[in-house]
Amino acid sequence: MMTPYEIAQKLFAIAEDRKAKDVRLLEITDLTVLADYFLICTANSTTHIKTMADEMALRLKELGEPARNIEGHGKNVWLLLDFGCVVVHLFLPEAREFYSLDRVWADAKLVSH
């Protein structure tokens, strides 16, 4: 079983390997009970979002940490993968700017790598 931090780091590495832009890992443990970490990434296209999501879901499942829920497959402008302790947000640039999760969670600790 992986720790929340290990899961977050693995997902971060996958995002970087898959050429996500502006990847940010936020530690939200002290701010909410929703999760321990949010991983926020920007993709180039809806295909890029789907490819990253599929890779994350597959690789974490292979490690014994399957996604509990995946939301947003229909439109693919914002796709959310819920791994319980880590929630991944994959955005197209305009959706990321519109929803501005970076600003909403400005009190979160930015995790360095």
User: Mean pLDDT over residues 51-61, rounded?
Assistant: 97
pLDDT at site 2: 94
pLDDT at site 72: 86
pLDDT at site 74: 63
The DSSP secondary structure of the chain, one letter per residue, reads ---HHHHHHHHHHHHHHTT-EEEEEEE-TTT-SS-SEEEEEE-SSHHHHHHHHHHHHHHHHHTT---SEEE-TTT-SEEEEE-SSEEEEEE-HHHHHHH-HHHHTTTSEEPP-
**Domains (range + CATH), the chain:** 4-110 (3.30.460.10)
pLDDT band at 112 (very low <50, low <70, confident <90, very high): confident
Per-residue pLDDT tens over the stretch 4-36 = 999 999 999 999 999 999 999 999 999 999 999
